[in-house]
Amino acid sequence: MKKTNVARILDGLKMTYELREYKVDESDLSAESVALKIGVPLPQVFKTLVVCGDKTGVLLACIPGGLELELKSLAMISNNKKVEMVPLKDVQKLTGYIRGGVSPLGTKKQYTTYIDESIMLWNYISISAGIRGCQVLLAPQDLVQAIKGKICKIARHVAEE
């Protein structure tokens, strides 16, 4: 298994982590699919979303798999009037990562990162290792410290139809 940038950053910070590789299915990059493949409960698999605020510009949001980002809450917390998801075509040029491989660690530029408060419920969580097919398992407080993340309530259950 080759070291990803994310693993190198964690090594540099002397943080404990575990890499878990899985087979990538291009047609299903969902957190649900990743959780099953790496054997981690879905609420412990955090996905990183790239968002843009009308006042602050680009921000990252880490939320548990199975939940959706509450844009209004994030806007308020981040001092924006509104925030919206960055178009998929812009994600790589902003972060250096492709969809399904976006990590809050090691982005091209250090963006302010908001992390859903549920992260603190777990002994460990999983985030992308910066490439598709590899996740990093680490302690929530280590992630928060490494990215200087802001913990807040920004995720909600997907509205029932």
pLDDT tens figures, 47-62: 999 999 999 999 999 9
Which long-range contacts does 93-99 make (Cβ < 8 Å, 24+ apart)? 94/50, 94/58, 95/50, 97/128, 97/130, 97/131, 98/132, 99/29
- Domain spans of the chain? 5-155
Band (pLDDT 50/70/90 cuts) for residue 161 is: very low
Kindly report the CATH class assigned to 5-155: alpha beta
Band (pLDDT 50/70/90 cuts) for residue 1 is: low
- Mean pLDDT along residues 127-139: 96
pLDDT tens figures, 74-98: 999 999 999 999 999 999 999 999 9
What sign for the dihedral angle of Cα 102, 104, 107, 112?
Answer: positive
Band (pLDDT 50/70/90 cuts) for residue 26 is: confident
The fraction of the chain above a pLDDT of 90, given in percent, is: 91
pLDDT tens figures, 96-117: 999 999 999 999 999 999 999 9
